[in-house]
Structure formats: C-alpha cells, structure tokens
Structure 1
C-alpha cells in the first residue's frame, strides 16, 4: 500500500499571477508578503503580486527581512508583525528561504509554540499560504516542509506537516531569468538532489517515481547549460523540473545527502545546493550497490555513462574539496546519524561510513 497527497493548486507559466491570481480573493482581505531584501524587488515577482493584490482590493504588508537559511527569531518577528496587522494569509516570494519562512510564519500566527514545539507540534491549522518561487531549486512551493536555522539545536531543522502545503503556487519562469550563475547552478543541483534522493528513498512509491523520473529528464538535459547566458527556454525547463522534484520529496522526504549537507551549510557556510552536489557522488556509489536497477535508470535519464561521468560533472560544477577538521567531522557524524534522512536511506548507514564520506571531501585522504 502507498499514499499520495499533494493538495497545492499549481499555476505554471509566464504571467500566471496576472492570469490566475484572482483566486487570492478567496483567501482574505489582508496579505503578508514575505521576501528577502533584494531579489523579489528586481525580478518582477513582488511587483506582479502587488499589482494583482491592488487590483483585487486586498491590503498587503511587506516583511522583507528573511535571510538565507531563515532563523527561528526571524519567523517570530514576522509572525508578530502579521498578527499586529491582522493578516488573513501569507505569500512567500523568493527562493526556498522566503517560501519556507512564509510557511513557518503562517503556522506561528495561529499556534502558540515554543522553540521545541515549533519543530515537533502538535499543530493547529495555519493561515493559508501562497508560494511564488523565484529560483529553480527548492520546490518548496509544493512541499509540506519548512527548513529553518535553529541555533539552540546547532543545525538546520525541519517543520514537517501537511498543514503547511501552500494553497496556491504561482510558478513563473520569468521570475528566474535574473538569477546569477552561482545561484542557477546551486539551485539546479538542489533540485536534482531532490529528484535523485526521492527516487532512492525507502519511502519512494510507484507514483513518486513517476515525478522523480520526469524531474530528472527536465533537469538532466540542462546540466551542461547552467553557466553563462541561460536561455528562457532552459529556465522554464529547470523550474518545471524543480517543481516536479518538489512534488517527489513531498511524498518521499530526502535522504542522507540532505542530512549531511545541512552540517556543511550550518557550520561551514556552504550553500545548500553545493553541499548536496559535493555529497551526491558518494551517495550514488552506495546506491549502485543496493539499488543497481534504479541507479542505472538514473544514469540513462541523465544521459550519463555512469558514476565516473556523474562524479566528473559534479566536480566541474561544485568543486570537490571542503576544509574539515577531525573534530568537525566527529561532530557532524554524531548529529547526522539520528536524522530522518539517514533512516530513509536504503543502505546500512554507520558512523564509520559517514566519517569516510566527510573525509573524502577534504581531498588528499
């Protein structure tokens, strides 16, 4: 038996906010816009949403203080602002950080949760959530997860509940056209890791595999098109693949790649996508041992000859070394072992295995 649940209504295509945004009137008369400080203002996404809200006579308030890897403190500040203004729904505009923040803000607005309960629940119904992605990577517009930085835990942690699936997602490739090269690369590899990990997860199903394979088809054909001038056609394929990969992990969760990668992001400042890309070759080597048929299918879909080809591609895009001390590796292994991502990995994950993979990132070992 397996289940499938994806309640978000997706509007995909250029000008989708202008064409289909009338549905926002169903959610209330006051909206909180959640963004970072810069990108939503320059890529046209914020303006498109504001224009539609004004057209519908919906009041809106802007919270534009979301940082990369949003913190619990930022969520609480935004929720207090939203409550003060009496907003009816929350719109996250941006990459994974603003969208994840919007989900958590909507939850905190209707739930009294201390810092531990924020990640464990139980939860009541949040304010309605709308997601407008401006990068082709996280797929947060179609997931039930919000990843936050939690200093008390010393790592990134996830809120995971079907209650925070966005009600609507407006997925417009035009909003990704101004993304710089490094972000294009990192987010594309993040999306690829979602598709691959979801495909290999112990929680994968025949239905989630359909989405994963389709995501890999749209992402894989462009893995050599991520640098330089990226055409609007490629941007559209990357965003479509990212959304499909998000639908995949909404069903399957991620695996040890994400669990290990969170340590590199939190403690070493390595971007989320690059951290995943650094770890994916070692992960796929394990998958060739335990899920050979699926591993071969991955290589075929991505148009690669095999693991060596994939490793070379990731090295070219991500680099291949990280400065890690023995003490750091020991700490990362201890924190990674009990995570859900490790539990969803179809391989006997031990401290020795994790230590070996982290050590490989150092180089010359």
Structure 2
C-alpha cells in the first residue's frame, strides 16, 4: 500500500491574495484562457500564454505540440496554469524538460524531468488535475483519448481560489463537479484503494451530494456560497486519483468523448449510473454496499423496486440532464465496435474496475443509454 499528497495545497479568497503570497511577477508565465485573464487578473505583471490561441475545445496531441513550440521559445522560472482540467493537463507537459513531441512523450518508457517550477490553480471543481500527475489528450489517429502519468507532472503548489467559481458557467460547474463525483466513487471501489483513499473519496462524495441537494432545492445561486466545499471535494477526489486510477466509467467515457467530441465531465456523468448499476447487480455485497448506504443516508431511503443508484441517477439528471447516446450521433450499429475499442485502448483503466466488465457488459451499458 502506498499513499502520497505531492503538491503543497493552498487556499485563497482571491487571485490578488495568491499573487501577493507567491510573489507573482515578470519571471512567471501564466497559462490560461483570455476570459479568465480579463476577468480576474489582467493587471498581473506576469507573462501570459493563452490556451485559446491553440485550442478551441479539449486538447489533442497536435494542439499541445503547437503549445510546446511556443513555450520552448519563452524564458521564465515558473509556469502558473489557471483553468479547467484541460489547461492543467497541458501545463504538466509544457513544464517538462524535453524537446520531444507529445506522441514521443507518451511512449511507455519516457519520463523526463521538469525544467521550471509549476503551480496549478483550478477554475472548475472537477478533475482534481491540480494534485495529479496525469495528462489526458485526444489522439485522433487512434480514435480515442489517452492518459499518461509523468513523475515530474506533480505541481509544486496546488492553489484553490474561491473567486474563480464566481463566474463559472452553470454547465461547466455541473459537468466538472460530476466528474469529481465519478472520481471519488470509482476510486473507492478500485482494487488498489486503501484506507487513506477511502477517507478522501467518502468525504468528497458526501460533500458533493449534499451540495447538489442544496442546489436543486435553493437554485444555482448557492454554488458560490458553497465554493470552498466544492473546491475541497474536487481536490480530495483528485488526491485519491493521484494514488489510484479510475475505472470502467472513465474507460467507456474516454472513447465515447473522443468519438463525439463530448466534454469529459459530461461523458463520465453520462456513464456513471449504468456502470454502477451493472456493478451493483453483479456484486452488491462488496464495497459498493458502503456507497449504497451513503447515498440512502443523504438522499433518503429508496422506494420499492428502486436501488440507491436509481436515486443517484435521478439526482444527477437534475444537475446534468441525461441525454441519449443517439442524440450525440451514436447509432445502434456502433455499439459492438465501440465496446471493442474500449477494450483495445483503455486497459489502463479497465483493470481498476470494481468487478470485471466483459464485452457483453459494456455493450449492455451502451444499450441502456441508446
């Protein structure tokens, strides 16, 4: 058993407080989006590099290669990445001490060091990327997203700034926080989970579900009131993820998201209920019983013929409405091919399933959402 928390974790109310505490200045390069720069820190003395100049959606290997060319022409001491999971994932690679392309860096035996300091600050409450070493990029040539952990990818500092949630679009909040919930639930059930990851996962699940109930009862205006709780829950799920990888929900979502250009959090939220219902049907008496009990404790007892994961599905549908796979452009005849592709490209995640998922199981999961 191993467990570690690598970055030093800090919390601030505002960017200004962070900038003062960390002496942000001209020898720093802030990697972010223009809208974040213009909204929160346009007066900074730091250099800037904008994700939007290279990529309009989630990062591909090619767009990150273009970022690498630009970053290698700059002179700076610290890379400060401020943004969602895609920006933070890119920053881990941009800070590496290497002249390789992304494809070369993702080779199994490549682990370069880091050439500059690295500070990661999330503006969503989802991926927990600020405390992991993993970068996930889309590789269109193989038709799937691929993740890789870099030993040097852990930041020196992970910085949680409440102010950044004050302007978050509802859809970004909803899908990113749902991804944090998926992380916590999957890692709690993973074969490599331990007493320490269990503590972080259960705390994250409890906080997120309680936040969702408040939001569905009182409206989205309470998101900012609960900013510290959401950021902490996402961070705790990220700490668990930095020690144990996610499983089948992410495996299926990775391929589907790549095929249909669906934001990562939206895809993981979509596949969470059918995967967990499959797990619960196959092995209801294991650790998943703890999750079922926690869901009932927070959401209330299930009615006749209903499982806790049906109740979870109903709550999630109020946060991120469920869409059928056909609405994204998937056809019934795609199911078999997609299942094969998941098995072919996502073994890194599938080995962390609570119970093994056969091809027939994956086909059934797709069919439940068609």
Give TM class, smaller chain: 0.7 to 0.9
Residue 35 of structure 1 aligns with which residue? 32
Number of residue equivalences: 348
Per the TM alignment, residue 241 of structure 1 is displaced from its structure 2 partner at its CA by 0.5
Residue 329 of structure 1 aligns with which residue? 335
Q: Please, which of 342, 345, 354 is the counterpart of residue 346 of structure 1?
A: 354
Residue 92 of structure 1 aligns with which residue? 81
Q: Does 1:197 align with 2:186?
A: yes
Residue 154 of structure 1 aligns with which residue? 143
Matches of 1:84 and 1:243, distance apart in 2: 32
What are the Cα deviations for residues 249-299 of structure 1, in whole angstroms up to 9, with x where unaligned?
A: 111111010111112211123222221122111222233233634323223
Matches of 2:47 and 2:102, distance apart in 1: 28
What are the Cα deviations for residues 15-70 of structure 1, in whole angstroms up to 9, with x where unaligned?
A: 37625754467xx97333222343x13541x44xx63xx3xxxx523233343311
4+ aligned runs moved over 6 Å, structure 1: none
**Matched-pair contact (CA < 8 Å) for 2:65–2:102:** no
Q: Please, which of 358, 361, 365 is the counterpart of residue 369 of structure 2?
A: 361
Question: Alpha carbons of 1:156 and 1:234: their partners in 2 closer, same or farther (altered >3 Å)?
Answer: same
Residue 5 of structure 2 aligns with which residue? 6
TM-score (norm 1): 0.88
181-190 or 114-123: which moved more? Answer: 114-123
319-328 or 128-137: which moved more? Answer: 319-328
Matches of 2:264 and 2:16, distance apart in 1: 28
Give 1:16-27 correspondences, 5 Å limit: 18-19=17-18, 22-23=21-22
Matches of 2:15 and 2:33, distance apart in 1: 21
Q: Please, which of 159, 165, 177 is the counterpart of residue 166 of structure 2?
A: 177
Question: Alpha carbons of 1:236 and 1:80: their partners in 2 closer, same or farther (altered >3 Å)?
Answer: same
Q: Please, which of 272, 293, 309 is the counterpart of residue 311 of structure 2?
A: 309
**Matched-pair contact (CA < 8 Å) for 1:95–1:134:** yes
Residue 295 of structure 1 aligns with which residue? 288
What are the Cα deviations for residues 68-91 of structure 1, in whole angstroms up to 9, with x where unaligned?
A: 311222222222212212233322
Q: Secondary structure of 1:159's partner? A: strand
Residue 238 of structure 1 aligns with which residue? 230
Which ranges in structure 2 are unaligned for 5 or more consecutive residues?
302-307
Question: Alpha carbons of 1:67 and 1:145: their partners in 2 closer, same or farther (altered >3 Å)?
Answer: farther
**Matched-pair contact (CA < 8 Å) for 2:111–2:151:** no
281-290 or 236-245: which moved more? Answer: 281-290
Q: Secondary structure of 2:182's partner? A: helix
Question: Alpha carbons of 1:41 and 1:312: their partners in 2 closer, same or farther (altered >3 Å)?
Answer: same
**Matched-pair contact (CA < 8 Å) for 1:189–1:273:** yes
Which ranges in structure 1 are unaligned for 5 or more consecutive residues?
none
**Matched-pair contact (CA < 8 Å) for 1:197–1:254:** yes
Give the root-mean-square deviation of aligned CA atoms: 2.3
**Matched-pair contact (CA < 8 Å) for 1:136–1:191:** yes
Give 1:128-147 correspondences, 5 Å limit: 128-147=117-136
Question: Alpha carbons of 1:188 and 1:102: their partners in 2 closer, same or farther (altered >3 Å)?
Answer: same
Q: Secondary structure of 1:5's partner? A: coil
Question: Alpha carbons of 1:355 and 1:20: their partners in 2 closer, same or farther (altered >3 Å)?
Answer: same
Q: Please, which of 36, 47, 67 is the counterpart of residue 60 of structure 1?
A: 47
Q: Secondary structure of 2:238's partner? A: helix
**Matched-pair contact (CA < 8 Å) for 1:193–1:276:** yes
Question: Alpha carbons of 1:148 and 1:354: their partners in 2 closer, same or farther (altered >3 Å)?
Answer: same
Residue 78 of structure 1 aligns with which residue? 67
Matches of 1:144 and 1:17, distance apart in 2: 27
Question: Alpha carbons of 1:34 and 1:78: their partners in 2 closer, same or farther (altered >3 Å)?
Answer: same
TM-score (norm 2): 0.86
Per the TM alignment, residue 313 of structure 1 is displaced from its structure 2 partner at its CA by 1.9
What are the Cα deviations for residues 196-228 of structure 1, in whole angstroms up to 9, with x where unaligned?
A: 011111121111111101111211101231653
Q: Please, which of 319, 322, 325 is the counterpart of residue 319 of structure 1?
A: 322
